[in-house]
Structure 1
Amino acid sequence: MEAYKSIGPYELHPVKTRVALLVKMRFASINKLGTDYLDGHLVMVEPHPNDTIFYKIDNLNNRFFVHHFRLYNMADITPEFRRHMAIAYKVGLREHVK
């Protein structure tokens, strides 16, 4: 949450199965808090399959790609992960819509 605050303002949108982060649309989610990890996902408009950060990518009609990740500690929020966070944030701002 702190890492996203440095990227830009957002709102929390709790639903039954997760807590979503949104600006104009949902761009990230916290899906599960385990005893020693956090599961979540980032929404992007293109897949990033070669990045070892993500353990699964769901394709939503070739329009959005939901990238699932698991974090164990703050060190897992690497510069590369922050780059993906910023990409997802821009999706939340709907910058991909022309």
Structure 2
Amino acid sequence: MPIFGEDAEKTEFVERVKIKAKEEKVPIITPDEFKLNRQTCSEIVFKGEAQVSNFLKLAFLFRKPIILHEYTFYILVDNEIYTLKNK
């Protein structure tokens, strides 16, 4: 059940990704503070439920944890940002 003011659809998406990541043994971290420097990085965006498996495979291949911040998942690799969003 989402907290007042939260988007139920985004919350459900986050929970589904967390479950799938646990099955795939990909760690997810949730930092208190998180800033992206998009000026020095290229960003590759994955959108929707259909892209979750591909996104998790990248995290596994790069051996990087997934960062969860404000309903969005990130993988930071060198000068690239891989992003997974609901829509």
TM-score (norm 1): 0.30
Which of the two has greater strand per residue?
A: 1
The structure that is helix-richer by fraction is 2
Normalised TM-score (structure 2): 0.33
